[in-house]
Amino acid sequence: MTREYLKKAALTSKSDASDTKKIVRGILDEIEAGGDAAALAYAKKFDNYDGEIILSQKTIEAASALVPEKLKRDIDFAHANVKRFAEAQLGTVKDFEIEIVPGFIAGQKAIPVDAAGCYVPGGRYSHIASAIMTVTTAKVAGCKHIVACSPPRPEVGIAPAIIYAAHVCGADKILAMGGVQGVAAMTYGLFGLPKANILVGPGNQFVAEAKRMLFGRVGIDMIAGPTDSLVLADSTADPMVVAADLVGQAEHGYNSPVWLITDDRSLAEEVMRLVPVLIGDLPDVNRDNATAAWRDYAEVIVCADREEMAATSDDYAPEHLTVQAEDLDWWLGRLSCYGSLFLGEETTVAFGDKASGTNHVLPTSGAASYTGGLSVHKYMKIVTWQRATKEGARPVAEATARIARLEGMEGHARTADIRLKKYFPDESFDLTAEG
- Residues 417, 431 contacting (CB under 8 angstroms): yes
Distance in angstroms (rounded) separating the CA atoms of residues 411 and 136: 47
Per-residue CA distances from 207 to 109, 151, 223, 292, 376 (Å): 32, 11, 10, 21, 22
Q: Which of 320, 407, 410, 434 is catalytic?
A: 320
Residues recorded for the chain: 435
Per-residue CA distances from 421 to 103, 394, 411, 426 (Å): 18, 10, 15, 8
413: left (phi over 0), alpha (psi -120 to 50) or beta: alpha
Question: Would residue 319 show up in a list of annotated catalytic residues for this protein?
Answer: yes
Percent helix, strand, coil in the chain, to 5, is 50, 15, 35
Mind giving me the DSSP string for 6-43? EE--S--TTTTHHHHHHHHHHHHHHHHHHHHHHHHHHH
Mind giving me the DSSP string for 281-343? TS-HHHHHHHHHHHHHT-EEEE-SSHHHHHHHHHHH--SEEEEESS-HHHHHHH----SEEEE
Burial classification of residue 66, based on how many CB atoms lie within 10 Å of its CB (0-12 exposed, 13-18 middle, 19 or more buried):
exposed
Q: Which of 79, 167, 251, 319 is catalytic?
A: 319
Question: Would residue 270 show up in a list of annotated catalytic residues for this protein?
Answer: no
Which positions are annotated as active-site residues?
Answer: 319-320
